[in-house]
Chains A and B, each alone.
Chain A
Amino acid sequence: MQPLDHLSSSQLRLYLQCPQKYQFQYIDLIPRTFRPSALAFGSALHSALSWFHKAELTGTKVSPEQLAKIFETDWYSQKADEDIRYKDSDDDMKFVVMGREMLSLYVRQAQRLQVKGSEIPFVIPLVSPTDGQELGVNLEGYFDIIERDDTIVEFKTSAQVMTSFDIESMLQLTTYGYAFKRLYGRPPKGFKVINFIKNKKPRIEITETRRCDEDYLVFFRLVEQILKAIMGGIFYPRAGFWCKECEYAHLCPLWLKKSA
């Protein structure tokens, strides 16, 4: 097996969720035959938010209508030549309306954020926080927003409210905190998760949390083990709620067993 080019927060999350899917997606590079609507919607909303903040940072005043137009364009781009798979009663128009409503709500709240940078990419070597041991692989990703006081802001879209346990155990935040500390030589002040909740009446919930040095040490050890497993070719299917929307179900040994 060839050495890995890099690891990202979503790769780590995926390996922990289902190593078999990780193999299909990142090792075998098998093209996905469809895209779940929730993923496409999340991408379109993220990119519209990033556009909004970048425009505001350059001093451009953005109207809710302009932002809605960018979102609709991004949503269309997500759908173009993709097989978007909608859940039950969902459809294209429902997502357009929901996106517009969410962004309209957001524009009113966004004034409270002290944005220093938006969609900031990072590539850092994975190094142990205690003994300087290097894993030989980079960690890549980007911060949705960094505020002036060093708070990392992460946008999420979900169908329900995130519990405090969800937030505390969110590996993505630990990943970003680790990256921030490596990049700037100081830990982030904290984290804000801005959750766009896809209810009939969409709403936004903001939750704040923190991470400590021990979390970064545990994170490093976890990544070390995941990397060993990947390099050792350990890929096995893990069943869970995620199987329902899995783009590789038709290749999965578990799914094939069920349908046999």
Chain B
Amino acid sequence: MQERGRYIELRTSDGKPICSFYMFEREIGSDDVEKKPDATSIQQHIPKNGTGNGHGNGQSKVQTDRPPQSSRQSQSPPNQQSMMTDSQKRLLFRLLADQGLEGDKAHEHLKKQFQVTTLKEVTKHEASREIEKLLENAKGGRPVHAAA
């Protein structure tokens, strides 16, 4: 059984976010029926109906790409491939170190920024946006060594 995640964000022409969706495609083959309990038990955390997390469902409030905290905490990352990569995580820590925020302080800062209890909950997209923000902040200031 393979699963793919998609993140779609709709914005106005001037860049304001309208809504965002997480979509999970799930393909079930005959092999899945015969899978060992060990492997399938891990995957039971995955949403079964192929829907996202409720974003883009007509709520009037402008959505960010962060799902409700409670739903984040109650399940494993839905798709490892859509989560923040090691390289992104490393770059975030380097950029913060460049700005004088190191170790535990940087870690706490990132968790606060992403509103998560663990960085394992951060998606690739969220990490990209934070990296862009930090790079933007660094412009005009000291040279950024981190990304070299």
Contact = CB atoms under 8 A, between A and B. Distances in A.
Interface stretch (B15-23, B36-44, B63-71, B134-142): B36-44
Contact of A81 (B39, B43, B118, B148): B118
B48 to A, nearest CB: 17
B72 interface: no
A74 B93 contact: yes
Interface in B66-105: 76-77, 79-81, 86-87, 89-90, 92-94, 97, 102-103
A132 interface: no
A155 interface: no
A76 B103 contact: yes
A177 to B, nearest CB: 25
Contacts of B102: 73, 76
A74 to B, nearest CB: 5
B42 A30 contact: yes
Interface residues of B, number: 31
B94 A70 contact: yes
B131 interface: no
A77 B87 CA distance: 9
A43 B90 CA distance: 10
Interface of A: 1-2, 23-24, 28-31, 43, 47, 51, 54-55, 58, 60, 66, 69-70, 73-74, 76-78, 80-81, 233, 251
14 contacts: A1-B29, A1-B31, A31-B76, A69-B97, A73-B94, A76-B93, A76-B102, A77-B89, A77-B92, A78-B86, A80-B93, A80-B107, A81-B118, A81-B119
Given A31-B80, A77-B89, A80-B119, 18 more contacts: A2-B2, A23-B39, A24-B39, A28-B42, A28-B43, A29-B3, A31-B76, A31-B77, A60-B148, A74-B94, A76-B93, A76-B107, A77-B93, A77-B94, A80-B93, A81-B107, A81-B119, A233-B31
